Amino acid sequence: MLHRAVPGAKLLAFALVLTGVVASANVLVVGGIALTLVAVIVALRLPWRPMLLLALYPGIFGAIYSFAVATDLLSASLIILKAITAALVAVLLMFTTPYPQVFAPIQRVLPAVIGDALLMTYRSLFLLLEKFSHTLTAVRLRAGLIGANPIRSAATITRSLGGVLLYSIDLSQRTHDVMYLRGYDGRLVVTPQPSVSAWIDRGVAIVGAAIGVMAVAWRIWWPGLNPYAWIPPLVAMVLLVVALAWRVFRKEPV
């Protein structure tokens, strides 16, 4: 369902949920948001393993930062959980929206050179990764990488990266020449994805707004609402259990 929502609605929901995560100062509320996002991932049959791995990565750096600055264990947990939850929101957006559709709204408000560079960088990234992989394979076949001599292997890998650097410069020059020949006039235009269902779009925006408003409300009126901070994670846990049960009921692999 999230794949069918229009990118604008998803970006709005992303901004609202992220605002809630940033504004919150209650570990249970942030935990509730994280569990809700996991429930969405499970319900929509998205690849949860790579998504969670990507989301956990910033938690490592959050742990280093919290070790340095946190005053107690709960504050440290809050820092780490906020880093993971914010990353999970971003990963959920990127796994359900094509990159050009995410860049298109950004491109409209940024200068043309930056907007076009975002799109071309996305394209070039995969070309360079493939080139680097092929180069390393060729080096390995020619015994350039030897486990017994890590220094020589490291120097070889670095020179391979230098070769990829020269390839990337030549690639960008050729790409510019080809685009100029094909009529590039200084701005790439991305056709916006049409809306499939206005209800799905509104639903995504409303859910994002609900999460953001809930988190901000708990931040503003925390003395009165904190005693009931167990409610958001409980609701999120119920949603997660329902999503898992639905997948099991339909005999789908989790």
Enumerate residues 166-205 that contact another protein by CB under 8 A: 166-175, 177-178
Q: How far is the CB of 235 from another protein (least distance, A)?
A: 13
Among 9, 12, 16, 27, binds another protein (CB under 8 A): 27
Q: Which helix (H) or strand (E) holds 118?
A: helix 112-141
* Residue closest to 222 by CA, chosen among 7, 2, 4, 26: 26
- Which of 47, 162 has the CB closer to another protein? 162
Give the Cα-Cα-Cα angle 98, 99, 103 (nearest 5 degrees): 125
Q: How far is the CB of 26 from another protein (least distance, A)?
A: 5
Which region among 85-93, 142-150, 197-205, 236-244 touches another protein (by CB under 8 A)? 85-93
Site for another protein, residues 32 to 71, rule: CB under 8 A: 54-55, 57-58, 60, 64-65, 67-71
Q: Exposed e or buried b for every residue in 100-123, given b needs 16+ CB within 10 A?
A: bbbbbeebeeeeeeebbebbeeee
Q: Does 238 bind another protein (CB under 8 A)?
A: no
How far, in Å, are 13, 79, 216 from residue 66 at the CA level?
28, 6, 22
CA quadruple 133, 137, 142, 145: dihedral sign: positive
Q: Does 112 bind another protein (CB under 8 A)?
A: no
Is 33 within 8 Å of 85 (Cβ atoms)? yes
Site for another protein, residues 150 to 169, rule: CB under 8 A: 155, 158-159, 161-169
Which region among 36-44, 89-97, 140-148, 197-205 touches another protein (by CB under 8 A)? 89-97
